[in-house]
Amino acid sequence: MFKLNPLISMLLISVTYSASSFALTPEEKGRQIAVEADKRDLGFGDTKSSMTMVLKNQYGEETKRDMHSKTLEQADDGDKSLIVFDSPQDVKGTAFLSFTHQVGTDDQWLFLPALKRVKRISSSNKSGPFMGSEFAYEDISSQEVEKYTYKYLKDETFDGRAHFVIERDPVDPKSGYSKQVVWLDKDEYRAWKIDYFDRKGDKLKTLNISDYNKYLNQYWRANLWVMHNHQTGKSTELQYADFQFSNGLTNRDFTKNSLKRAR
What's the chain's Rg over C-alpha atoms? Answer: 22
Handedness of CA 201, 191, 131, 64 (dihedral sign): negative
Structural contact between residues 125 and 141, judged by C-beta atoms closer than 8 angstroms = no
Work out the widest C-alpha separation in the chain, in whole angstroms.
Answer: 89
User: Of 190, 212, 194, 192, nearest to 203 (Cα)?
Assistant: 194
Digitized pLDDT (tens) for each residue of the chain, 263 residues in all? 445 555 555 555 444 434 444 699 999 999 999 999 999 999 999 999 999 999 999 999 999 999 999 999 998 899 999 999 999 999 999 999 999 998 888 999 999 988 888 999 998 889 999 999 999 999 998 899 999 999 999 999 999 999 999 999 999 999 999 999 999 999 999 999 999 999 999 999 999 999 999 999 999 999 999 999 999 999 999 999 999 999 999 999 999 887 877 66
Give the separation between CA 9 and CA 31, rounded to whole angstroms: 35
Give the separation between CA 52 and CA 241, rounded to whole angstroms: 9
Handedness of CA 183, 153, 21, 38 (dihedral sign): positive
Three-state helix/strand/coil letters over the chain: CCCCCHHHHHHHHHHHHHHHHCCCCHHHHHHHHHHHHHHCCCCCCEEEEEEEEEEECCCCCEEEEEEEEEEECCCCCCCEEEEEEEECCCCCCCEEEEECCCCCCCEEEEEECCCCEEEECCHHHCCCEHHHCCCEHHHHCCCCHHHEEEEEEEEEEECCEEEEEEEEEECCCCCCEEEEEEEEECCCCCEEEEEEEECCCCEEEEEEEEEEEEECCCEEEEEEEEEEECCCCCEEEEEEEEEEECCCCCHHHCCHHHHHHCC
For residue 121, CA distances in Å to 98, 109, 125 come to 10, 6, 6
